[in-house]
Amino acid sequence: MSIYLFWNNKGGTGKTSLTFQTVTRFSELNPDKKVLVIDICPQANISEMLLGGQEGNGSDNLLKQQGKVPRCSIGGYFDYRLSSPFTVPDFDASSYVTKPNKFNENVPKNLDLICGDALLELQSIAMNTLANNDIPGVNAWLSVIDWLKNLLDKLDYDYIFLDTNPSFSMYTQIAIAASNKVVLPVMADDSSRRAIQNAFSLIYGQRLPSEVYRNYTFAKKLEDAGRALPKIHLIIKNRITQYMGDASAFKAVLTAMDDDVNELIDDYPNSFTFSDVADGMVSVRDFGTTGIVAFARGCPFSVMPSGKLSVAGRRVGVKADYRDAALLCIDEVVSKL
């Protein structure tokens, strides 16, 4: 089972938008595969998109799922585990799964969802407290870290995509520990260059500002438990300027970013699924108005019509060539999965 984590500790990289378009297109191109999206983000934006977006009552549909008993969301599952944090109880994992196509016909039928939940922030405090317990014969931290893994062990999917928020909270660490491949969206700026280094420090415990921190890192704890870390599988250079692409004024930053990644590959080859930076990077253009309309309507590029479309009571124009160019970018991302 391939489990892809879309994550970056830096915000504003377009991670959720990319995840939405990528997973819907991947599901469409692989109709014989069972695909699951888990929204491990308190804002639950990808859940709202998959459930209809702004124009299709995605927010209301999400609230209905969260209002079920048991609460049909990742927050509902974590809420259940708070009462049994260190042993895996017998439970029906499917009760936390939603079929987005029942709410949004634009979403492929083979794509399922575990909804996001604002409860995650509150639960993170409780998770940290539980993980720091000193219980003889029990690795409390690993027991909590494995909550998502315990859920996935009870589900049957070919591919799983985890959408996370820009944090390293306990629920984010739980997602990282459950994954085996990391997709890292970045922008063409110096802060994104630093974000790649920061991601490496947080996940792998490398390039730390001081060796004092090494024994306390996420990586050290997982390795001490005999658990493998996920590998960086793809770096997406997102929102490359629409008209000039990689040949723009951002060229110097993008080249430096490539150099940084090459250096990391040379120093830590086992942390990557690729040995050539060209195989593990893809550039994606700025989707502009086309992207805004697609996300507001909860609509993948592959099925979104062109022309004048309604968004928030206004008519907005979508050009067919812009939509097709955006879809080509997503197809390139999917091809590297």
Mean pLDDT in consecutive groups of 10 residues from the start of the chain, 337 residues: 91 85 98 98 96 94 96 97 95 97 97 97 95 91 97 97 93 96 87 83 82 83 93 88 54 81 93 93 87 90 86 79 92 96
Distances (CA, A) of 18 to 13, 110, 136, 235: 9, 19, 44, 12
Domain spans, the chain: 2-335
pLDDT at 174: 97
pLDDT of residue 96: 98
- Per CATH, the number for 2-335 is 3.40.50.300
pLDDT attached to residue 246: 52
Give pTM, 2 decimals: 0.93
272: which 2 tokens?
């990557």
- Determine the Cα–Cα distance for residues 277 and 192; give it in Å rounded to an integer: 16
pLDDT the model gives residue 212 = 72
> What is the model's pLDDT at position 238?
81
Strand partners, 184: 235
| 19 neighbors 163 (Cβ within 8 angstroms) | yes
| Token pair in block for residue 80 | 């259940």
Q: What is the pLDDT of residue 248?
A: 58
Q: Give the pLDDT of residue 262.
A: 92
pLDDT for 331 equals 96
Longest Cα–Cα distance of the chain, Å, equals: 65
Type of residue at 171? Y
d(CA 58, CA 166): 22
d(CA 230, CA 204): 9
Torsion of CA 334, 254, 165, 46, to 10 degrees: -40
Quote the pLDDT of residue 190.
75
CA dihedral 13, 15, 20, 24 (to 10 degrees): 110
Query: What 3-state class would DSSP assign to 233?
Result: strand
